[in-house]
A = this chain, B = another copy of it.
Amino acid sequence: MNIGDVADAAGLPAKTIRYYEDIGLITPHRSANGYRQFTQSHLHKLAFIARARGLGFSIEQCRTLLALYEDRDRASADVKALAETHLSEIDAKMAELSEMRRTLAELVQACAGDHRPDCPILKGLAAPDKAD
């Protein structure tokens, strides 16, 4: 398969696949004309990476997951540990966003949003503890 075919099949831009080759995630062969040649196995890997990325794993985490995937003797505990690490990263981000959301929603709530210049949002940003 050429790069366009795997790109379509894996749901990734061709550019991204070239980048993944650059950083050593995959190593397609080359045909005589210099085109990258992908096998089903390459496609599997790319789809695997695409899904892991979709779950928010970093490229380095994907590299590790891929290595575990290819290692028939891995312990599932190693995979689970990595997934749990990522799960708590997600939880941390969600907590951060949730706190932002709470504060921002309060400010928005307090703002009339009319033609007048008086604005609790700006006041809140300027001096959070005495937002009027």
**Chain A interface (Cβ < 8 Å from any Cβ of B):** 44, 47-48, 51-52, 54-56, 65, 68-69, 71-77, 79-81, 83-84, 86-87, 90-91, 93-94, 97-98, 100-101, 103-105, 107-108, 111-122, 124-126, 128
A119 interface neighbour in B76, B119, B124, Cβ under 8 Å: B76
Report the separation of the CA atoms of residues A81 and B71 in the bound assembly, to the nearest whole angstrom. 52
Contact A56-B97, Cβ < 8 Å, known A79-B111, A83-B104, A108-B83: yes
Copies in the complex: 2
Q: Interface majority SS on A: helix, strand, loop or mixed? A: helix
Whether A94 lies near B98 (C-beta < 8 A) is yes
Whether B51 lies near A113 (C-beta < 8 A) is no
Report the separation of the CA atoms of residues A115 and B112 in the bound assembly, to the nearest whole angstrom. 60
Report the minimal beta-carbon distance from A38 to chain B, rounded to whole angstroms: 17
Contact A79-B122, Cβ < 8 Å, known A97-B56, A97-B97, A101-B94: yes
Whether A122 lies near B80 (C-beta < 8 A) is no
Sort A-B residue pairs by CB-CB distance and give the 10 closest, nearest first. Answer: A80-B113, A76-B119, A77-B113, A75-B115, A80-B111, A56-B100, A79-B119, A79-B121, A83-B108, A90-B101
